[in-house]
Amino acid sequence: MRKFKVFADFKEEEAYLNEMAKKGYFLKKHSAFGFYHFTEGTPEELYYHVDYRKFKTQADFEDYLALFEDAGWRHVYGTKNSLNQYFLPKDGNADDDIFSTKDSAALRYKHLNKICYANVTVAIAYFIAVLIIYDFSLANIGFLTQGLWEMTGTLFWMAFFFELPFVLFRTAPVVLSLVMGIAYAVWGSKAKRIYSKMMEDEK
Amino acid sequence: MNVSKYLPLTETTFYIMLALRKAGHGYAVMQKVEELSNGRVRVAAGTMYGAIENLIKQKMIMSVPSEDSRRKMYQLSPLGLEVLALEIERLKSLVEVYQQIESEEA
User: What pLDDT does residue A143 have?
Assistant: 82
Query: According to the model, what pLDDT value does residue A48 have?
Result: 97
| pLDDT confidence bin for A174, thresholds 50/70/90 | confident
pLDDT for A128 beyond 70: yes
Q: What are the tens digits of pLDDT across the range A79-92?
A: 999 999 999 999 98
Q: Where are the domains of chain B?
A: 7-105
Interfacial B residues in 3-32 facing A (CB < 8 Å) = 10, 12, 25-27, 30
Which CATH fold topology does B7-105 show?
A: Arc Repressor Mutant, subunit A (1.10.10)
Q: Is the pLDDT at A202 greater than 70, yes or no?
A: no
- ipTM field: 0.91
A100–B47 C-beta distance less than 8 A? yes
B75 vs A: CB within 8 A: no
Residue B1 pLDDT exceeds 80: no
The rounded mean pLDDT for chain A is 91
The set of long-range contacts for A4-8, using a CB threshold of 8 Å and a minimum separation of 24, is A4/A33, A4/A34, A4/A35, A4/A36, A5/A34, A5/A36, A6/A34, A6/A187, A8/A109, A8/A112, A8/A187, A8/A190, A8/A191, A8/A194
The answer to whether B31 and B2 are in contact (CB under 8 A) is no
* Helices A102-133 and A153-202, axial angle in degrees (round to 10): 150
- pLDDT, one tens digit per residue, over A34-46 is 899 999 999 999 9
Over 80: is that where the pLDDT of A201 sits? no
CA A38, A64, B50, B41 torsion: positive or negative?
Answer: positive
What value does the mean pLDDT take over residues A71-98?
A: 94
Contact B43/A at CB under 8 A: yes
- pLDDT value at A203 more than 60: no
